[in-house]
Each structure stands twice: as C-alpha cells, then as structure tokens.
Structure 1
Amino acid sequence: MSIEELSKVFLRKDQADGTNFLLKFGEFIDSMVAGKGAGIFPDGRMQLSRLEVRDSLTVLELIFNRLSAMESDYSFSESGTIESVSQLEDGTYSLKMKKRWDNDFTALAENDVVYGVVNDLASGGGKYYTSWLRVLHVDISANTINAVMYPDSEVPGGKNYPPEPLMILSHRGNPVDTERQGYWYLSSREHCICMLNGVTKPVLEESNYSVIVGRLKHLSLFDNLPINYLHSYIYVRGLVAQDIHRIDFQGVLPRIANDRGEWNMETATGAEPYQADREAQTETVRVMMYDTVWHYGCKWMCLVSGTTDEPKYGAAGWAMVEGNPDFSIDIESSNGWYFDAERFATTLTITGELYNRDVTAHILDSDVEWTRDTGNVTEDNAWAVAHAETGKSLPLTVNDLGPDYMNMTGCKFIARVLLRDGQNNYETMNYITF
C-alpha cells in the first residue's frame, strides 16, 4: 500500500492529523459511572478518569456534581499565591506572587497583615503550619512583595513559620490603614461565618468580632448569657431591621406581655378586663398577648381571662413574674421587748411576707418549728419536743428561759417556717434573743 492509502487508515505522527472516529487509549469503556480508560469523541468530548494540570485550566463553562464541599477556612479578602521565596540579608522575605492571567497584579498593600498555611505532606508528615507576615513594600510592576515575619510572641499558638512557595497568602488586617482592617471568612472547622473589623495584628481582640453567624466564640461578653456553644446563634455589633418575627422551636408565635399598669378593681370589672390570651395584629405580623399588671411593687401575669382576683399569693388568676420573690417572717412580742426577769411573760407571734404582701394566713401551724438555744443542749431539745405543736403563736413564761437563765448571757428562740403553694416550697427562719 502507498503512503497515501496508509494515511487514510493510520494517524500521522510527524504532522498534524485528525479523525472523525473515536480515539481510545488502552481499554476504554464509555460510562460516567462504570467507565474505564480514556477516549476522545468526534464531537470534541473527552472522557478520562483523572486530569492533572500543572499550570492553569481555562474553561467556558464548568459543570460538576451538584454537591460542593469545602473544608477548613475560606477567606474572603485580598489574596495571592507565592511563586517563589527569597530571604534577604536583613531577614525579610521577597515573595514573587503568581500571576493568574496576563494583567493580574497583587492586591496586597503596604503594612497588610497576611497569613498562609503550609503543610509537610510532601515529606510524609501530616502537620499544618501557619505563617504570619507584615507587608513592608509592594512592587506592583514586578508582582513582588517584601514582608517580615512576626515574632513568635505575637502570633496565635506562640510559634511562627517562614513562608513557602505555593502558599496562598490572605489579607487579614492592617495596623495603619483603617480601611484595610476588616475581612470575613467562612469556616467549616469553627462552624461559623465571621466578620472582623479593626484588625491590626495576628492575635485577635474580642472587639474585632463584628458579626458571627453560627457557633459563637467563647468571648467574655457572652459569659453571663445562657448560651449553648454547640448551637448556632447570630451576633452582630449593630442591627437595623424592618421586620422581626419570633417563633418558638415548634413554629408557634410566642406570647408577648401587654403591660396594663397598676392593677385596680375598676379595670378588672370594666369593659376591658384583664386577659390571659388575646390576639393582636400589628402592621406586619399577628401576635398573641397576655396582660400584666403591677401591684405592691411586683409584676403579675394574668392566668385567667376576666379574673377579678387581687394579685397576691394564692390568687388563682395571677402569677408573680417580677419583683421580690423572697419569703420572710417577722416575730412580734405581745408585751414588748423589755421585762422584769421575775415577772417575764409574753407571747411571740409569727407573721409572714411574700411578694411584699402578708401571707400569714397561708402558713400552716404544722409547718412552724420552734427551737431554743441556751447552750444546754439536753434542756433545749426537751423544750423543743414539748413545744412541737405550738404553731404561729408561742406563749412564754420565765420557765421557758431555762433553769440557768439568770447565770447566762441570753436565751434565743428560733422559728423555722415552711410555706407551701402546691408547686414550690418557701422556707425561711428568724430568731429573737432575751
């Protein structure tokens, strides 16, 4: 066969050639799922298992799997890739930045705080290191920057590392130019989106955090808040919002308090009585509301619509939500506090107070315990047993002061009281000394 005839069958290797038929490399199976080998189709399509590009890949349209994943941190700021590194005699570094296209020049500026991450995977290790640098000079025409390393004492982790070729540098802040002191990043490692402002050095201050969306940082300003650091929140330094809609975890609108001011019976029995549930429509959202009132310095929440009960302890229509929650007792003496020792006689009476109101009537006699302290444990225990059923009133005579009263410095009577409301028990104590 002549060369002309062979050229119709075989592809030339000494000059440009082509074919309208499928080209295969080794064993080829046409399938995106179970394919094998490599092949080039007449329509220009190529199918292979792996493509390695040393420099760059330029495509008109990139179609890939619908699932796109990222790991570690993704910085949104000026950045660039180091092409080569030269350490100068003064200890600084000259960094040649890689051009991504013909007219690509570095966007880093003088005094920028930059950082990059390098690993030792090529040498068989599995460690990652962070290099922190400050830009001293930028040569835009040569696409080169001159930078100095931060000392170990000024970087996170207490150890800094020199820059390496192929390291991606990202701008983080600037100690001089206030317009370049902010950046933001998305971190799958920290589970958040974070925006920073006022960054002047590698180690961040709490004031640098402007926006956190996701898991919050362990900042001191959150110490007194009931935050679960495994849950996601939104923290912003400032907020301008037109509409805010609140729902609970079940999607139900939360109830909002409607302050009706001081409680009075005229309102309770009038045309607009107090309500436990009412629906209200604002300009943008429908809300559920409940009435609250103030009474004797405490804030009360309405539990029963139309109730005429006075807000106080034991009222079925009200619950105290704000105010003094302490239960206290006072001990009064029927004959005052000054006595002739030979004619001592009086009655001690307990009064109780809760929510700034008298609750003595709600104290059961069986929930009052009287004890005595004269220093004679045996005599005091016997006295307490004898007065176990005394209740809120304790009659006293000179015999109750103990056999050695005239030889002692004093006699103390102690009252311990329990107040029950069906859900919580309030306990307190008080004492007097003769």
Structure 2
Amino acid sequence: MADIKDTLKKMAEQIRDERNAGANTALRVGSLLLAMIDAGADVDKLRKIFICKDQDDFTGFMLKLLGGMEVGEAVDSMVAGKGIVADRNGRMQLSRLEVRDSAVFKEIIYNRLNAQEGDTSYSENGVIESVALESDGTYTLKLRKRWENDFTAFQEGDIVYGIVNNLFSTGEYYASWMRVLSKNVPANSISVLSYPDSEVPGGKNYPPTELTIITRRGNAFNEDRQSYWYLSATTDKCLVWLEGVTKPVLEQNNYYMILGRLPNLDLFDNLPVNYKHSYIFARAGIFGELYRVDWQGLPVQELVDRGFWSAEVASSDNPYTNTQERADTVWHYGCKWKCLMTGTADEPQYAAAGWAMLEGNPEFTIEIGSTKGWYFDIGTFSTTLYITGKLYNRDVTDHILDADVSWTRDTGNVSEDNAWAVKRAGAGKNLPLTIDDLGPNYTNMRVCTFKAQALLRDGQQFEVAENFVTF
C-alpha cells in the first residue's frame, strides 16, 4: 500500500509543479484519477487500514470510543432498559454479566437492601437436579453443578435435609431428612437413605424432590463433621451453633450457642426467661470487656465479695476497687460495706469517704454511762453521766456534737424539771450530777429519771436516738 501511495504522490506533485504551458494534458490528469480509482478498488488492502461498517471486522490496536458505546437496541433504563449502554463517564448498563474467573468491585449496591427469607445454613449444600429411587429403597440424588469443576462436598455419614414449599396446593412446607451412604464424584451424585418417621423432627419424613436445596446438619460417626451453624427466620428466630449432631432430632447438649429467641429447653426451666425476648446463650465466653445495663440503659455494677476487710489488702497491689462495671464489698463488724473509691485506705465505718454500708444494723443508738458506777451513798452522791453513740456496730461518739445533745429530768414536778432542763441546756455529752440535781423531794420520792436525746448528722440527713436512767 505504501508503494501505491508513493506513486500517486509523485504523479500529483508532477502535475502541481509543472510550469510549461499545455504540459498538464488530459492524459496526465486522467491517469492520476484512474490510478486513484484502482487503488481504492483494492478492498483487501483498504480493510487493512479501515474498520468496516457493513460486516464483521476487528483491529489489533486499541479502539477509543470517546463518546461512549451502544450495543443492540440500546435503551438507558434500570427498569425498562435493553441492550448495552456505556457512557463516557465509565458507567455501563447491561442485563447480564458472566465472569469466568473472578470479579473485583469497589462497591456492590443491592438497592441498599439485602433481604432473605427462610432458614440460612452455613454448611455444605447442593441443589437436587434429579431423583432416582433404587430397588433397595435408597435414593440417588444428582446434584447441580454451579461451574464446570464443581463437585459435591458431602461425605459418607452426613445428615442432610431440605425444606420444600408445596406450591401446588395450600402452600405448606415440609422437610426431607436423609443420611449419605456414598457419593459418586464424577457423576456429582450421592446415594442417600431416608430416615424413618420416628427419627425426624415432627414425626413425619418426606422423600427428596427435584430442585430442593439440601444442606449438611451433622454426621452419624465423623466428629469433625458434627457441627452446624444456621440462621433461622421461620421457627427458631435465632442464630444457632450446634455441636455433636449425630441424628435429625437434637438433644439439649447439641446447643452450644444461641443468639436470639431461646428454644424451649429443659435447661432454661429454672431461669426467669421470657421466650419472647432475645438472649445470648453459650457454653463458655471470653470477653475483653463486659457491660451490664438495666432496661433503661443504665449501668449495673457487679458486686464482688472480698470477704472480711483487711488493712493489708487495702495497701496491697490488689486493693479494694470501684469501677463502672464492678465494686468490691467487704464485711466489717457484722456489716457489709461497698467500696466507693479504688485504693481507699479508710477503715469501713461511719463517715468513711471510701465506703458505704449495704447490710447490717442501721440503727443509731446511745448508751448512758456513769463515771462512778451505779451504786451510791445518798449523803455523798456525785457522778457524771455521759453518752456513747453507736452506728453500724461501731462507736460514733466523736461524731456527735455537744450542741446536738439534750438532757431532761423527770421527778414528777413539771415546773421544777423544766427549770432544771433550761439550767443544764449546755451540758453536752457529759452531765455532772450532785444530790441537788435529784430534786428537792428525792429523799421522800426516791425516783428521778434523766433522759438523753442525741442527733447524729449525716449530710442533709440526721439520726435521732434516746435513752434514760433512773435513780
């Protein structure tokens, strides 16, 4: 083609550059035109340069379609579209895409919703393509190949089942339970035996049918194939992990993990379980962090009993702690205390900032004592009464203010007793007494009662206690 191009170019240049009058004759110009026509008539040579529009063609070089591309009767629509549409921005629309090896996507959009119904099995599975009933009562199930080298993963002893909707009548569904006897890898088929009605859930088994999806639920003898994981959106409404499955009817010890509504099992009978609520059940758990909240979403602290309070433990590398998740408790003088501050060195008692009393004796009481005992010579009577306060089985006298202690006397003479009370209003926790404090008629009456009342202030609250002695 290059030789023809050079020849035509030389003939055209000869006509262009000719300066002699009458030299460019009709013969010379016509010869150029005829040569051009002959060159254009060589279709095979033109096909090496141009791409045909009227028949199939190809090119070994990159073809750039800067404006886009349409294949077939192209209609750009996700609902009523047809053909293939590719625009200059990289968007392509087509009805079906088949990938033989692999496909890589940055993002896959399922209309922003991926929904499924029924039960989902995470185990070996297959679709029954055909069913053949053998003379010995077994079934040969040919399984559908999803690709050329797709062979069944079922093994001998596998417990398989499938659920089929009866679309030809009322729409009910039934289950078919089988045990794999053997498999034929080249034919991609398995030989199975149906379980009798007495060995399947519900007490009724059905033969296998075409187009049923079957999956492995366990294995009759191979322990490595006796686990099963499934998500139920129909009856169980939970995510379940099973172990040790050797038959269609499950035992309670087959349930190793349940996420969702709990099945009615005997092991839950003694628990306050609401079968309409969702729970997490597992044989064991390993947690980095575990938070407990009530129905309002508020944290629930776990109380950990650390036994009797010990000063050595309080100052050790494992002291008493309080976190959002847990709080230590101790026993001290018959009361149970909750730790309020991690690492506190305070002894559990009233007014200890690091502790709060949970259980024990909550009563605030006072006792009245005498500095000289309770036996006196009336002629030399003299003593001092004092109070001792107790709370949580501990002495809290030092926390009682003198101004919060009042004394009254009862001799039977109200006016004399009131006057005495006014006179001794500032006595505080200690009340000195002489024979005059017993009243003017004590030698005749021989009865005089002194009553003490004390307040113990605790922030915005206070406790009141009373006691009395009689001479």
**Shorter chain as normaliser: what TM range?**
0.5 to 0.7
2:187 to 142, 148, 161: 142
**Cα drift, residue 87 of structure 1:** 0.5
Tell me if 1:93 matches 2:139: yes
Which residue of structure 2 aligns with residue 36 of structure 1? 80
Contact 1:292 1:300 in 2 (8 A): yes
**Cα drift, residue 288 of structure 1:** 5.5
Tell me if 1:231 matches 2:274: no
1:177 to 196, 201, 222: 222
Contact 1:114 1:135 in 2 (8 A): yes
**Cα drift, residue 250 of structure 1:** 5.0
Q: From the superposition, tell whether residues 92 and 310 of structure 1 become closer, same or farther in structure 2 (CA, over 3 Å).
A: closer
One-letter code aligned to 2:282: V
2:266 to 207, 214, 220: 220
Tell me if 1:280 matches 2:321: yes
One-letter code aligned to 2:203: G
**Cα drift, residue 239 of structure 1:** 2.5
Q: What does residue range 177-326 of structure 1 map to in structure 2 within 5 Å?
A: 177-189=222-234, 190-249=236-295, 252-257=298-303, 259=305, 261=307, 280=321, 287=325, 289=327, 291-293=329-331, 300=336, 306-307=349-350, 312=360, 315=363
Contact 1:116 1:170 in 2 (8 A): yes
Contact 2:320 2:339 in 1 (8 A): no
Q: From the superposition, tell whether residues 316 and 217 of structure 1 become closer, same or farther in structure 2 (CA, over 3 Å).
A: farther
Contact 1:295 1:311 in 2 (8 A): no
**Cα drift, residue 71 of structure 1:** 1.5
Q: What does residue range 66-81 of structure 1 map to in structure 2 within 5 Å?
A: 66-81=112-127
Tell me if 1:115 matches 2:161: yes
Q: From the superposition, tell whether residues 173 and 207 of structure 1 become closer, same or farther in structure 2 (CA, over 3 Å).
A: same
SS in 2 for 1:41: strand
Q: From the superposition, tell whether residues 307 and 290 of structure 1 become closer, same or farther in structure 2 (CA, over 3 Å).
A: farther
Q: From the superposition, tell whether residues 90 and 244 of structure 1 become closer, same or farther in structure 2 (CA, over 3 Å).
A: same
Which residue of structure 2 aligns with residue 370 of structure 1? none
One-letter code aligned to 2:222: D
The separation in 1 between residues aligned to 2:332 and 2:268, in whole angstroms, is 31
1:163 to 208, 217, 228: 208
1:133 to 174, 178, 196: 178
Structure 1 stretch displaced more, 218-227 or 202-211: 218-227
One-letter code aligned to 1:222: F
Contact 1:303 1:316 in 2 (8 A): no
Give me the CA root mean square deviation.
4.2
1:321-358 CA distance string (max 9 Å, x none): xxxxxxxxxxxxxxxxxxxxxxxxxxxxxxxxxxxxxx
One-letter code aligned to 1:99: K
Q: From the superposition, tell whether residues 311 and 120 of structure 1 become closer, same or farther in structure 2 (CA, over 3 Å).
A: closer
1:115-148 CA distance string (max 9 Å, x none): 0112222x35412111100111111222111001
Rg larger in 1 or in 2? 2
Contact 1:39 1:46 in 2 (8 A): no
Q: What does residue range 335-346 of structure 1 map to in structure 2 within 5 Å?
A: none
1:349-381 CA distance string (max 9 Å, x none): xxxxxxxxxxxxxxxxxxxxxxxxxxxxxxxxx
- Which has more helix, going by share of residues? 2
Q: From the superposition, tell whether residues 57 and 128 of structure 1 become closer, same or farther in structure 2 (CA, over 3 Å).
A: farther
Q: From the superposition, tell whether residues 145 and 240 of structure 1 become closer, same or farther in structure 2 (CA, over 3 Å).
A: same
**Cα drift, residue 31 of structure 1:** 3.9
Q: From the superposition, tell whether residues 199 and 316 of structure 1 become closer, same or farther in structure 2 (CA, over 3 Å).
A: farther
The separation in 2 between residues aligned to 1:260 and 1:47, in whole angstroms, is 69
Q: From the superposition, tell whether residues 57 and 133 of structure 1 become closer, same or farther in structure 2 (CA, over 3 Å).
A: farther
1:71-110 CA distance string (max 9 Å, x none): 2211111111111110001111011111112221111011
Q: From the superposition, tell whether residues 221 and 60 of structure 1 become closer, same or farther in structure 2 (CA, over 3 Å).
A: same
Contact 1:115 1:172 in 2 (8 A): yes
One-letter code aligned to 2:84: I
Q: From the superposition, tell whether residues 256 and 207 of structure 1 become closer, same or farther in structure 2 (CA, over 3 Å).
A: closer
Give the share of equivalent positions with the same residue, in percent: 43
The separation in 2 between residues aligned to 1:135 and 1:146, in whole angstroms, is 6
Contact 2:243 2:256 in 1 (8 A): yes
1:401-434 CA distance string (max 9 Å, x none): xxxxxxxxxxxxxxxxxxxxxxxxxxxxxxxxxx
1:43-77 CA distance string (max 9 Å, x none): 697657x77x9xx8767257332321222211111
Which residue of structure 1 aligns with residue 70 of structure 2? 22
Contact 1:255 1:290 in 2 (8 A): no
Contact 1:105 1:143 in 2 (8 A): yes
Q: From the superposition, tell whether residues 167 and 256 of structure 1 become closer, same or farther in structure 2 (CA, over 3 Å).
A: closer
1:13-44 CA distance string (max 9 Å, x none): xx799x98635659x4x344xx5342422569
Q: List runs of 5+ in structure 2 lacking aligned partners.
A: 1-42, 44-50, 59-64, 341-347, 352-356, 366-471
Number of equivalenced pairs: 286
Contact 1:88 1:94 in 2 (8 A): yes
The separation in 2 between residues aligned to 1:131 and 1:72, in whole angstroms, is 16
The separation in 2 between residues aligned to 1:125 and 1:47, in whole angstroms, is 40
The separation in 1 between residues aligned to 2:326 and 2:138, in whole angstroms, is 65
Tell me if 1:60 matches 2:103: yes
The separation in 1 between residues aligned to 2:223 and 2:82, in whole angstroms, is 54
The separation in 2 between residues aligned to 1:61 and 1:311, in whole angstroms, is 65
Q: From the superposition, tell whether residues 104 and 222 of structure 1 become closer, same or farther in structure 2 (CA, over 3 Å).
A: same
The separation in 2 between residues aligned to 1:152 and 1:172, in whole angstroms, is 18
Q: What does residue range 354-393 of structure 1 map to in structure 2 within 5 Å?
A: none
Q: From the superposition, tell whether residues 11 and 234 of structure 1 become closer, same or farther in structure 2 (CA, over 3 Å).
A: farther
The separation in 1 between residues aligned to 2:135 and 2:358, in whole angstroms, is 86
Structure possessing the higher relative contact order (Cα contacts under 8 Å, 6 or more residues apart)? 1
